[in-house]
Structure 1
Amino acid sequence: MSNRLESKVIIVTGGTSGMGSAFARRAASEGATVLIGARDKERGESTAAEIARDGGKALFVPTDVTVEEEIAHLVDVAVTEFGGLHGAFNNAGGGNIQGTIRSTEASFWDRVIALNLTSVFYSLKHEIPAIIASGGGSVVNNASVVGVAGDPTAVAYSAAKHGVVGLTRSAALDAAKENVRVNALVTGLVNTPLWRGFSADNPEAASTLLGRQPTGRAADEAEIAAFAAFLLSDESPFINGAALAIDGALTAGY
């Protein structure tokens, strides 16, 4: 494994499972100091401890990404404890996302938007100034294929992820001259615990979704983590403001 993230301090939200956990481990293995922001203290501390046992550097900071003050605290810990901030993988999101335009209640809409879009706004608002003060760096926001194409069964989630793509592009333009890059991942099916649980509970629906996937499989978490690590490294200096599909050609057919 390379040390291309050596000396970088990187935040990952939602870093206790799935793509976030895979990225935290990958970034640490490439030399980064990783701050894991999430709500689950037990899993967060366990993940940080496992990274440390493998020779990496990680710290868990209890964080509810829907609360701006907690995001601000996460960034402050990075700066005060480790001397700066050089990158972030804003990955937290998901939750209960199913609901059509006619069935979605306002309270459900508010929860989905808060977790999947407002949290990214809070993150960028506090991360970008800290990254600028540290000399520049990179941010990756985890969007979704339904951030570039509609989904009638998950309208709030799709709206939120479309918002993440727009927010990514706007933030990239805002900070480009200050040496901060901001990109979004357009992820498709990924073999996370959430997907495995959904597949077990809804085998027919899971089979239908896999049937739409040109590759016939879901991505491995490690594949997403590797791409995010590349975008957060100095090997991708001219990739900025992009919504990058890592979806096994799923959106190529839309």
Structure 2
Amino acid sequence: MFDTDGLLRGKVVLITGASSGIGAAAARVFAAEGAAVVLAARREERLAALVSELTDKGFDASAVACDVTRADDARRAVAHAVQHHGRLDGAFNNAGTGGDLTPLHEMEDAVYDTILDTNVRGLWNCLRAEIGAMLPTGGGAIVNNSSVGGLVAIPTAAPYVASKHAVVGFTRAAADEYARRGVRVNAVAPGSTLSEITADWYARNPGLQDAIHAVTPQGRTAAPEEVAEAAAWLLSDRSSYVTGTVLPVDGGYVNR
């Protein structure tokens, strides 16, 4: 029933925020699972290096500069995939930002604006472009990167928590709206994962990592590849009857 040569063999998948962390890990995992990957991010030099790494291994990879907060950029990234491959089968909407850990009443407007613009408007821009490209070819699969912060509260991170709850809302709304038109929409909700955002939080907040590990049943931080593997399954045909779900990839954090 299922292809055994790779979860994503033959699929064209767009990855936003692909220049580092979970996005870069997803590029490597998805390519190894057989996908032609289109990598989108703002940092073009990093994208070029990652494309070279993948193509040197014989994988199909290309890149497009993209700031997801700009609707034209999101549309251009999707158009790049369609122009190069004729269609878009999947998308991993991973681009996001974390901001500062600051009490809500002390949070600056600029921090709120940056987080909501990237994590919410950016997703909105991508979903519109991706779904619009998938409908004419019979559908596809989309995975949005939320967070455990989209399921539970995280102290001193109110705008981030609000933005990731919005990701969950968009996921469920889009899944419901497009299920009968062949588009599945799911989300992953990572817990503590080794990324630039997490490393920055840990560096600026001594003791934070130990505190998070103490309340995580597995007692550790995830590797980015562990989140990417979950996203790969949700993008694959092996999750064909799964839509509108938010999959925690968190070492049991939200199950305490």
Please classify the TM superposition score into its range, dividing by the shorter chain length.
over 0.9
Task: Say whether the 8 Å CA contact 1:86–1:137 is kept in structure 2.
Answer: yes
Q: Does 1:88 align with 2:104?
A: no
Identity of aligned residues (%): 38
* Offset at residue 206 of structure 1 (A): 1.7
Residue 41 of structure 1, aligned match among 39, 44, 52 = 44
Tell me how far apart the structure 1 counterparts of residues 110 and 203 of structure 2 sit (CA, whole Å). 28
Q: Does 1:100 align with 2:87?
A: no
For the aligned residue pairs, the C-alpha RMSD in angstroms reads 1.4
* Offset at residue 197 of structure 1 (A): 4.2
Which deviations, in whole Å up to 9, do the C-alpha atoms of 1:147-171 show, x marking residues without a partner?
A: 1112230100000000000010000
* Offset at residue 107 of structure 1 (A): 2.5
Task: Say whether the 8 Å CA contact 1:14–1:92 is kept in structure 2.
Answer: yes
* Offset at residue 26 of structure 1 (A): 0.8
User: Under a length normalisation based on structure 1, what TM-score does the superposition of the two structures give?
Assistant: 0.95
* Equivalent residue, structure 2, for 1:236: 239
* Offset at residue 200 of structure 1 (A): 4.0
Q: Give the letter aligned to residue 136 of structure 1.
A: G
Instruction: Structure 2: give runs of 5+ residues left out of the alignment.
Output: none
* Offset at residue 198 of structure 1 (A): 3.6
Tell me how far apart the structure 1 counterparts of residues 46 and 160 of structure 2 sit (CA, whole Å). 25
Tell me how far apart the structure 2 counterparts of residues 101 and 17 of structure 1 sit (CA, whole Å). 28
* Equivalent residue, structure 1, for 2:152: 149
Tell me how far apart the structure 2 counterparts of residues 158 and 4 of structure 1 sit (CA, whole Å). 31
* Offset at residue 5 of structure 1 (A): 1.3
Instruction: Structure 1: give runs of 5+ residues left out of the alignment.
Output: none
Tell me how far apart the structure 2 counterparts of residues 204 and 98 of structure 1 sit (CA, whole Å). 13
Q: How do residues 214-225 of structure 1 correspond to structure 2 at under 5 angstroms?
A: 214-225=217-228
* Equivalent residue, structure 1, for 2:212: 209
* Equivalent residue, structure 1, for 2:112: 109
Q: How do residues 11-50 of structure 1 correspond to structure 2 at under 5 angstroms?
A: 11-50=14-53
* Equivalent residue, structure 2, for 1:178: 181
Which deviations, in whole Å up to 9, do the C-alpha atoms of 1:63-88 show, x marking residues without a partner?
A: 00111110010011111121010000
Instruction: Work out the number of aligned pairs and report it.
Output: 253
Task: Say whether the 8 Å CA contact 1:99–1:156 is kept in structure 2.
Answer: no
Residue 199 of structure 1, aligned match among 198, 202, 208 = 202
Which deviations, in whole Å up to 9, do the C-alpha atoms of 1:138-189 show, x marking residues without a partner?
A: 0000000111112230100000000000010000011100111000111101
User: Under a length normalisation based on structure 2, what TM-score does the superposition of the two structures give?
Assistant: 0.95
Task: Say whether the 8 Å CA contact 1:136–1:180 is kept in structure 2.
Answer: yes
Tell me how far apart the structure 2 counterparts of residues 100 and 197 of structure 1 sit (CA, whole Å). 17
* Offset at residue 6 of structure 1 (A): 1.8
Q: Does 1:140 align with 2:154?
A: no
Tell me how far apart the structure 1 counterparts of residues 100 and 135 of structure 2 sit (CA, whole Å). 34
Tell me how far apart the structure 2 counterparts of residues 102 and 230 of structure 1 sit (CA, whole Å). 40
